Amino acid sequence: MRERVPQIEVVRTWLENERVKPGVDVEFDPDEPEWALVAKLLDSCAFEASFLWRYPIAWYRFDLDESRFRRLRVIDGPENESWRRLSPDGSVLGAARRILADELTGTYDDVDVTRVRQIAAALPAPSRRLVLFKRDHGERPTIADGNHYATARAIRLLQTGEYTPQWAYLGVRRRVQLGVRDHL
């Protein structure tokens, strides 16, 4: 099932996710106007949320089944840094395979692998909504928020073969087409 949702719902959920992360100090009132909440989100995680002001976005809440989960990519960024360095193929499953195969712990580049392993060990835990973004039709979605959680779920999937579907948000870039009159 997929349903269209307003951006403010996604931003509130994302800020709630930020609020519970270790070492992150985010304070907000969920009744603040959308522009104020977006500003707080950009202040808290400017790189991860930067697409919010770059593109017009249509937001959807949907059931993330196993086949869709297997297609997820880690957050965008330079190829040889952070999550992209951890995952040789850019996928969440690639990051999980690397953590397991290389028996990684501690911090890899700037990714807290110990935290990923702790989340994986605690699963099944309360579900957390992932925030995904897709620039173009046919492109695999990337994770904007929830890379640690998704990688932990991927580790559990690889270890046990079990996957429990969860809700996620998907932001899809909307193409705005203007006619010649609109440019005058």
Q: Residue 42: what residue type?
A: L
pLDDT tens profile 68-79: 999 999 998 777
Residue 124 belongs to a domain: yes
Is a pLDDT exceeding 90 seen at residue 38? no
Is a pLDDT exceeding 50 seen at residue 183? no
Residue 88 belongs to a domain: yes
Cis bond before residue 22 (omega within 30° of 0): no
Residue 22 pLDDT grade (very low, low, confident, very high; cuts 50, 70, 90): confident
pLDDT of the residue at 153:
95
CB of 93 closer than 8 Å to CB of 154: yes
Tell me phi and psi for residue 28, to 5 degrees.
-160, 160
Residue 179 belongs to a domain: no
Residue 116 belongs to a domain: yes
First to last CA, the chain: 41
Residue 181 belongs to a domain: no
pLDDT of the residue at 179:
56
Give the predicted TM-score (pTM) of the model. 0.86
In three-state secondary structure terms, 57 is strand
Q: Report the run of H or E that residue 156 belongs to, with start and end.
A: helix 147-160
Residue 125 belongs to a domain: yes
Residue 46 belongs to a domain: yes
Q: Number of structural domains, the chain? A: 1
Q: Report the run of H or E that residue 152 belongs to, with start and end.
A: helix 147-160
> Can you tell me the distance from the alpha carbon of 68 to that of 141, in angstroms, rounded to the nearest whole number?
9
CA dihedral 119→51→138→96, nearest 10 degrees, is -20
Domain containing 119 equals 2-174
pLDDT of the residue at 181:
56
pLDDT of the residue at 28:
82
Q: Please state whether 182 falls in left (phi above 0), alpha (psi between -120 and 50) or beta.
A: alpha
Residue 104 belongs to a domain: yes
Residue 129 pLDDT grade (very low, low, confident, very high; cuts 50, 70, 90): confident
In three-state secondary structure terms, 161 is coil
